Chain A
Amino acid sequence: MSKFKKKKKGTPGISTASLPDIVFMLLFFFMVSTVMRETELKVKQSLPFATEVKKLERKSLVSYIYVGKVDGQNGDKIQLNDRLADVNDVKYFVFAERETHPEEEIPLLTTSIKADIESSVGTITDIKEELRNVDALKINYSTRKGDISRNMKK
């Protein structure tokens, strides 16, 4: 009996000392990979679907223009940074964006148009026209990966 008791006392419990290490490892992974949302969306958005998509590389070179509907208001609204804006403000937005980059990066700047699936092409064209006026020619139509038949509502 005494022998048995002795043995039980000797069994070590599983050490949880390395648990913090594991958790910290995960923590650092998520801390590094997290991108905090820079802007709060004021417009309602559900992006269209496409299959022939390319990844946007170098996020620092990308600026976003959001297009969508606002609750209780008619028509498409454009959001630049944190506020709703007019089409005419797009050029100032591009200029402001250029200010923050060194000169050699300016031709690489891309404007990503994140437009709602139900917005009208006219609004997008107005934006494109403004972008052409200020020579911001690289654009990207932001889409989700998915079947295109989901773009069309019957």
Chain B
Amino acid sequence: MARRDLPEINAGSMADIAFLLLIFFLVTTTMDVDTGISRKLPEKQPPDAPEPPKLKEKNVFIVTVNRNNDILIEGEHFIQVDKLREEAIKFIDNGGGLGNPIDGAEPAECDWCEGSKDPESSDHPNKAIISLESDRGTSYGTYIAVQNELVGAYTVLRNRLAMKLYGRSYDDLLKDSENDLSNESLKAKVENIKTKYPQIISEAEPFK
């Protein structure tokens, strides 16, 4: 009988306490996901390293950004940043000659390229090198914009090839293979596209 008189603890204010905490965490949370353009820096060469092999001029696409944030390609003509992607694609996808041998096979032509096969431009996507030169005074924003367009050119080409070979875009394949690491066939597909259009962007040291 005495039990009946025992008052229960009022839990009504529990919600208030929880709300208080909830609001605290709501306010302090930053949901931003870090995104960015990933790059791998070249290894430092020892001072006694042999001279790197000379590259044919036609296989190098030189993009220069000066201190006024003007973009110059091939040392010849100025260009707006929104045209850069197009020019880079034209250069990479040219396929005017024989490429570097893949897996010890004979050097072969690029049979997946759709470029104009101009003998004056790059031989093969795996020989095509994009060299990005910049001035110390270039603004970082422009620099990133240029980098973005160059990466974008590769993305367009890879997507196109993946669409042709597998009927879906490269971005799609990549996302799926990241979510399903054990899937070997997906991985092989991604690798295949990557070797067909390897991303070769060199960031030259800035001129003073």
A residues engaging B (CB < 8 A)? 16-17, 19-20, 23-24, 26-27, 30-31, 33-37, 48-56, 59, 62, 67, 110, 112, 115-122, 124-125, 128-129, 131-133, 135, 137-145, 148-149, 151-153
Inter-chain contacts of B40 with A (CB < 8 A): 137-139
Asked if residues B206 and A125 are in contact (CB atoms below 8 Å), the reply is yes
- Write 14 A-B pairs (CB below 8 A) sorted by A numbering: A17-B11, A23-B19, A24-B18, A27-B25, A33-B29, A48-B141, A49-B144, A116-B140, A117-B140, A118-B140, A121-B138, A124-B140, A131-B41, A140-B38
The smallest beta-carbon distance between A149 and chain B, in angstroms, is 8
Query: In chain B, residues 174-208, which have Cβ atoms closer than 8 Å to a Cβ of chain A?
Result: 203, 205-206
Q: Do most interface residues of chain B lie in helix, strand or loop, or is the interface mixed? A: mixed
Closest to A35 in B: B30
B residues engaging A (CB < 8 A)? 11-12, 14-15, 18-19, 21-22, 25-26, 28-31, 33-44, 65, 69, 81-82, 134-145, 147-149, 151-152, 155, 203, 205-206
Inter-chain contacts of B149 with A (CB < 8 A): 148
The smallest beta-carbon distance between A77 and chain B, in angstroms, is 14
Say which residue of A23, A48, A137, A142 sits within 8 Å of B43 (CB atoms): A137
Asked if residues B18 and A20 are in contact (CB atoms below 8 Å), the reply is yes
